[in-house]
Chain A
């Protein structure tokens, strides 16, 4: 395994990012091992992404034996990724270090699925945050809790347009049973964790998905949050499958639906673009479909088309945008939030994804995880994505 050495920024203030991984079975020991490689000195934040079989609190306890003064955030994932490529049943730790960067963290549980309030509460750590020249709010959320779009809404409501948002939603290795999140040594479910990262050097955020709309638009004539009842006045399931010309076995067999739908998202008509919405389940009795994020009543949707080539091309889009955001400064590391559904589309070419990132960014530490929803807001108030790759690059 190649160990990527921590890269220090060229400025006097020596910001660094370091990455470490482990596949040890014991959570505490794995935390120690990964942190040993990630941590150099003056660590302000440890970001931990781990397979769902790990105990996040034990990982944090282990990691903090190496970096005791650091804050910790993290979540369970649907696979982890580093510059060495994607892995499963592992953990990855990204350390953000040095004197030119500071971090303020918060978390809140979404009571009754109220992610908006939870996100607004978690991001109140803005009150304690250092005001350096460049700031982002890193958000981690439970992909199974509430209306995911509300994470962005709650945070935006709290911090306003000045702060860009980046992050992703936890998964449990695609088990869809229970996701867990970590904040300063404690493990939560149904939770939003926020970290305000403030740096003296630029932080870039890039978003790309590689999907494009096809066919006639469909009007969402009845929906409630993520549940779509009718499209163009017809039962949503029937309209969706008809529009896709779905094979007969998908019409007949509900169990095949998710596998079929994961590579056939819908697009929400937005100003000059389409926001991708992943369709994940269907009710074959009520004839409805459910998405990972809200599909508003009255919205126009389209079928979206993409393949391994187009979604891999999105890596270049996201990575370039993130690196451009550094204003010419040399990156010291990148954090990637990559939709788990993209794995299914990329198939055998999955490893090309990180290779492309490293081609563009050079030999820098990369840590990321496969997500159940991605957050990337740079302009306007929108920023919740599906089937998307979001990259945060730091200089």
Chain B
């Protein structure tokens, strides 16, 4: 703009820059300062670097600033390569002289900075440093005051400090006015000297410059309280006194007890006790200095006051023009901010970042297209980690993340929450579209993974949840997570959409979990007993212990209503322990009723969770010791899946139980992926034929074949066989015909309470009739 030239423009921009110090609080200071620096210079990028890291930055998308490259720009000046933009120009400047060195970095893409602009950047750095130190001093004093309940004088100093920042700005505005109104340089210098007297409470101020090739005589301003104006520099050469030192050394100089200083004072004014001076530059060369002095010994210049003098000197430099600097170039790449928001393994956004993004897009202020979350979880990933090692696991995760990114639409967002949990956030897709995308993801992940030495096939379960008004990011993730679990329960490689019933189910399950905890503590759990008979003698030889929950409002609950949940929550461990203790105690008691009962056995179901718990063995031992039951009268029923896992731990536990004398029975035999190998390897004593096969005895040839095979197998291995679920005479005849020796089922007795069972036992003694009460519960 023609009306305002370079030097004046720069001084005006500095004055405007100082304006923010009266407005921005300490927390916003850096951000606002960078903004104003960038705006003043039309610079695309501005940054503050402190302690080798990025303290603040403008010009890159939030969280994407190339920290290492910007840190590399410290002490740089001139052409550079800007990451993401290409060629540009940088200028850096020190920010004050604080404890931690801070540097202001300014980058403009299309045009180099001229000398006025470089000086402006340096001055802005100085001014920002001063504002920062004043702010910090105020904070420190505020803390001190609060901590020590200091008196009014300290408070007064605090207020005064606050005023210093604003006064400096105001004074500079005044000086700026004289410049903008084209006052002669001599007048501007007088204004600057007056400003210094006021700001620094100085007894004397001298400002003296001589621009080579411009000024024949030094230009000077000499001021101070009591100074008449007649005093002058006399014949003192430019390099004399503290001002001369500052100019010659081209640096800030401060002297206490000037009378003892070897240099003479540089004017006809009285020699001060404390003095300091800062150089003034033209075209990078020191051409003069601004100095101030105080006569009284007890009033040394403080650090903030030294900052003010430096700022005033920089400001004076603008008035007379300037240029200086050094060149170099360094560049590298790093970005701590990026890392804070991204998963280091896959480079995807992480959980906090995705929740933040979801919250923003779902906030009440922001209405946009439908937002849907796809919660993607790898099936049986733990096995890969355990069996193939974490390095392979990591490799698989990276490959999965890549497949997800390749499968989603442009603009969809893929993030990794933790472990093998990924989410895909999509916008603008309806239910059908989102489900279709989820199915594409299932298909994409199902393609074999080439791990070099082998191929691996993986599946994922996907839960799909759509945001509704008021849904938070966290809630949306939870909804999708719930749907994903439902998908897992339906089997692998499934997609399930969340609906509100699932939330109700979740609430219901949460209530149930809480109630179950109470039930365990308050004795609401009961053990019921179902007898099993010898098909040879028709006598009851033992009982299966079955847990029931006598719920205070819902009545008697069967295991299928709470055991699956207890298995998920881990409460199953407490339940199993309770049943074990109760049942062993009870049977031991019944053994005492009559010598005919002394061989009664009890079988107790163990959950798979027990085999990952260290307590199983001590719990069993404790139950046997407390009840006095012979170990060989305790049967522990384990499911096929437990033995199928075939881990060393499982084998160790089962062997230890066998060594304890306890007998082990495989429950529901034939329903899983039965393997003869484990029957040989594990210390199993009996097999229980599942009711599914017993059902078809006498009517289904296939079932007959299976039961026959199980019985023959048991015979060959020397194992007992118990048939469960016997309900009809026809089934009983079939079992007898096949040579099965033990059976249980409604045909003989339903499970019933300890009390009723005992009544039945006593009654049987009287009638000498096999225990065969049929009790409806």
Contact = CB atoms under 8 A, between A and B. Distances in A.
A216 interface: yes
A71 B363 CA distance: 18
Interface string B54-92: 000011111010000000000000000000110000000
A273 B36 CA distance: 16
A298 B169 contact: yes
A128 to B, nearest CB: 5
B39 A381 contact: yes
Given A124-B360, A161-B44, A380-B44, A298 B15 contact: yes
Nearest to A153: B35
A161 B60 contact: yes
A162 B61 contact: yes
Given A102-B411, A160-B59, A298-B18, A184 B367 contact: yes
A130 B40 contact: no
B9 interface: yes
Contact of B365 (A109, A128, A161, A232): A109
In the complex, which of the residues A102, A160, A216 has the most CB atoms of chain B within 10 Å of its own CB atom? Answer: A160
Contacts of B18: 298
A156 B411 contact: no
A128 B427 contact: yes
Contacts of B43: 380-381
Given A271-B42, A272-B1, A106 B368 contact: yes
A157 B43 CA distance: 13
Given A106-B361, A380-B44, A160 B61 contact: yes
B680 to A, nearest CB: 59
Nearest to B60: A160
A208 B343 CA distance: 45
A112 to B, nearest CB: 12
Contacts of A111: 365
A296 B59 contact: no
Contacts of B366: 106-108, 121-122
Contacts of B9: 269, 271
Contacts of B64: 160
A81 B629 CA distance: 96
A125 B369 CA distance: 11
Contact of A269 (B4, B22, B36, B365): B4
Contacts of B413: 127-128
A106 B173 CA distance: 41
Contacts of B59: 156, 160-161, 381
Nearest to B65: A160
B675 interface: no
A128 B41 CA distance: 31
B12 A269 contact: yes
B301 interface: no
A118 B364 CA distance: 12
A161 B367 contact: no
A20 B199 CA distance: 64
A162 B180 contact: no
A379 interface: yes
Interface in A230-252: 232-233
A269 B13 CA distance: 9
A125 B368 contact: yes
B19 interface: yes
A382 B37 CA distance: 11
A157 B427 contact: no
A307 B243 CA distance: 54
A219 interface: yes
Contact of A216 (B22, B181, B363, B427): B181
A71 B45 CA distance: 32
B110 interface: yes
Contact of A296 (B19, B62, B177): B19
A381 B410 contact: no
Contacts of B100: none
Interface in B379-424: 410-411, 413
Contacts of A299: 12, 16, 19
A381 B360 contact: no
A354 to B, nearest CB: 29
Contacts of A217: 3-4, 180
A78 B363 CA distance: 30
B108 interface: yes
Nearest to A111: B365
A265 interface: no
Contacts of B17: 298
A183 interface: yes
B472 interface: no
A159 interface: yes
B173 A271 contact: no
Nearest to B36: A296
Contacts of A104: 411
A89 interface: no
A302 B38 CA distance: 22
Contact of B16 (A105, A106, A156, A298): A298
Nearest to A267: B1
B774 interface: no
B347 to A, nearest CB: 15
Contact of B368 (A107, A162, A219, A233): A107
10 contacts: A124-B357, A128-B413, A130-B411, A160-B61, A219-B15, A269-B3, A271-B42, A296-B16, A300-B16, A300-B176
Given A121-B366, A161-B85, A381-B38, 18 more contacts: A71-B369, A107-B367, A124-B357, A125-B361, A127-B413, A129-B411, A156-B58, A157-B58, A184-B367, A184-B369, A219-B177, A232-B177, A297-B169, A298-B12, A302-B3, A380-B38, A381-B44, A381-B58
Q: 7 smallest A-B Cβ distances: which pairs?
A: A380-B42, A298-B19, A161-B44, A298-B16, A297-B19, A160-B60, A298-B15
Interface of B: 1-4, 9, 12-13, 15-20, 22-23, 35-36, 38-45, 58-62, 64, 84-85, 108-110, 169, 172-173, 176-177, 180-181, 357, 360-361, 363, 365-369, 410-411, 413, 427
